[in-house]
């Protein structure tokens, strides 16, 4: 009998130690998917201007590699952003081996739409702002102000296009054509990737892709999205596709930032999209 109680005691101690280890890992910040013990639909989020997508890209990759994750829902509230990070998310979603649904919220325009269109099914609310298919570059020219105060800019460069666009002088016709060529190339990439995913006539798409925005209801009628609905409808549709009506749904959002880090991140985003940098973006930016 004493051996039996000793065995029970050792088993209880082992369970306690295991539970403590799991708790320590969780507290220390181990990713939630590492601790998934049952089949799950994972919910991830794309929020704000698309600039640094490293966290979301890695999260999607990890979820795709986890056999317990049967599908992913991507919530999107973004006006778009930088070209390369936007395409990075598009390509990541295209590589995934399990269903991915997009749920558009307040805005999913330009790069936000670019990301959504990679998903297997796209939901939006009737009032969602989407579309804005196109490319934009903006910079400020200080030439007049500099002339007024007698300030000159001196540039030494290795090639004639090295400082284009310059905030201190007007563009030549050749420089304008050079920049327009770049814009057109990124625009064609945008259209190409939409056509890979949407059953829409190319001629019709080109007519729509002049930068205009659409409501979710308009986008559905035009074939730019699949359905009107919120995350709830997306969850139910994915459960039906998986034939798993009781599957768990779990959120995998980025860890909360400190107030200082959050402010620094927002300042960096603002500087990148509002500053005089001549950047090229898939970005919905009204009021220009």
| From 59, 70, 78, 110, active-site residue | 110
The mean pLDDT values, 10 residues at a time, for the chain of 288 residues are 53 56 44 70 96 95 96 98 97 98 98 98 98 92 81 87 86 93 97 97 97 98 98 98 96 71 50 60 82
| From 10, 160, 162, 268, active-site residue | 162
Using CA atoms, how far apart are residues 76 and 71, in angstroms rounded to an integer? 16
Neighbours of 188 (CB within 10 A): 11
User: For the stretch 242-262, what's the b/e string if a residue is b when 16 or more beta carbons lie within 10 angstroms of its beta carbon?
Assistant: eeeeebeeeebeeeeeeeeee
CB 82 within 8 A of CB 279: yes
pLDDT of residue 275: 47
pLDDT digits (tens, 9 = 90+) for 15-74: 656 554 544 444 334 444 456 779 999 999 999 999 999 999 999 999 999 999 999 999
Alpha carbon of 232 to those of 214, 218, 229, 252: distances in Å?
22, 21, 7, 16
pLDDT digits (tens, 9 = 90+) for 160-176: 989 888 888 889 899 99
Say if strands 227-228 and 69-78 run parallel, antiparallel, or are unpaired. unpaired
Active site residue 110: yes
């Amino acid at each position: 009998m004493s051996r039996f109680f000793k065995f029970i005691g050792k088993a209880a101690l082992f369970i306690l130690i295991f539970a403590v280890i799991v708790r320590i890992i969780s507290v220390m910040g181990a990713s939630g998917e590492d601790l998934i013990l049952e089949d799950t639909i994972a919910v991830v989020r794309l929020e704000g201007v698309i600039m640094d997508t490293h966290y979301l890209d890695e999260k999607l990759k990890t979820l795709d590699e986890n056999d317990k994750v049967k599908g992913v829902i991507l919530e999107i509230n973004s006006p778009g952003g930088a070209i390369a990070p936007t395409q990075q998310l598009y390509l990541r979603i295209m590589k995934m081996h399990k269903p991915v649904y997009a749920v558009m919220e307040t805005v999913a325009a330009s790069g936000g739409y670019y990301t959504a269109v990679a998903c297997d099914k796209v939901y939006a609310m009737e009032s969602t702002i989407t579309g804005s298919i196109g490319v934009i570059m903006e910079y400020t020219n200080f030439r007049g102000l500099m002339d007024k105060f007698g300030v000159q800019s001196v540039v030494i460069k290795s090639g004639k296009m090295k400082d284009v666009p310059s905030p201190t002088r007007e563009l030549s016709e050749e420089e304008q054509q050079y920049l327009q060529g770049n814009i057109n190339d990124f625009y064609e990439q945008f259209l190409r990737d939409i056509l890979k995913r949407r059953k829409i006539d190319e001629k019709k798409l080109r007519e729509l892709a002049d930068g205009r925005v659409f409501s979710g209801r308009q986008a559905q009628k035009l074939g730019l999205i699949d359905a009107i609905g919120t995350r709830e409808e997306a969850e139910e549709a994915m459960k039906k596709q998986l034939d798993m009506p009781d599957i768990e749904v779990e959120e995998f959002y980025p860890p909360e930032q400190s107030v200082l880090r959050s402010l620094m991140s927002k300042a960096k985003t603002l500087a990148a999209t509002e500053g005089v940098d001549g950047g090229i973006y898939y970005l919905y930016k009204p009021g220009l």
